[in-house]
């Protein structure tokens, strides 16, 4: 790793990549974005390689693993992704047998989605990746800090819903 260390040594503070975290007008936005990527992208990478599922496809599985019945629109609301992405994901997951769909007789525009046993099994295997990553990240916080973070994030998420898009 000689090269790498040499490069790092040459690196003046003016180019230190971590400096930008302190040096910008929207520090919390930048940090939250960065953390989100760091929490989520490595796992999605593995999921794509190991199971050939796209981000949107696993997101659908994830939602259905925790909510017994959802419409495609519900999933779009939860994840903030556009409906066409969900639609594509639903078709793929139906083909793979991870998800079931039954038309809603009370509103024939929509259909109720449900996870299958097979889908739930897959989710349980996959979600460990995210758990491990989250644990690793949060391990740097003490109990008090964790509690504070938890309550603050809860508040923020709740508040977000009231903001106009």
Contact between 59 and 66 under an 8 Å Cβ cutoff? The reply is no
Task: Name the strand (E) or helix (H) holding 24.
Answer: none
Residue located via tokens 């046993």 = 117
Which tokens in the block code for residue 143? 């109990």
* Region near a copy of itself per CB under 8 A, out of 85-93, 95-103, 114-122, 156-164: 156-164
Q: Among residues 95 and 148, whose Cβ is nearest to a copy of itself?
A: 148
Q: Rule CB under 8 A: is residue 77 a binding residue for a copy of itself?
A: yes
Sites for DNA among residues 62-121 (CB under 7 A):
71-73, 76, 81-85, 87-88, 90-91, 106-111
Contact positions toward DNA, by CB under 7 A?
1-7, 45, 48, 52, 54-56, 71-73, 76, 81-85, 87-88, 90-91, 106-111
């Amino acid at each position: 790793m000689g090269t790498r260390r040499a490069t790092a040594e040459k690196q003046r503070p003016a180019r230190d990549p971590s400096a930008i975290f302190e040096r910008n007008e929207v520090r919390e936005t930048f940090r939250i974005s960065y953390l989100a990527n760091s929490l989520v992208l490595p796992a999605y990478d593995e999921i794509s390689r190991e199971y050939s599922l796209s981000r949107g496809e696993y997101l659908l599985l994830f939602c259905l693993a925790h909510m017994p019945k959802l419409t495609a629109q519900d999933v779009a609301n939860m994840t903030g992704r556009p409906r066409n992405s969900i639609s594509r994901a639903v078709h793929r997951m139906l083909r793979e047998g991870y998800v079931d769909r039954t038309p809603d007789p009370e509103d024939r525009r929509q259909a109720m989605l449900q996870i299958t046993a097979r889908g739930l099994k897959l989710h349980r295997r996959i979600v460990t990746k995210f758990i491990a990553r989250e644990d690793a990240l949060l391990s740097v916080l003490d109990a008090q800090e964790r509690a504070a973070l938890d309550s603050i994030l809860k508040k923020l998420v709740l508040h977000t819903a009231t903001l106009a898009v």
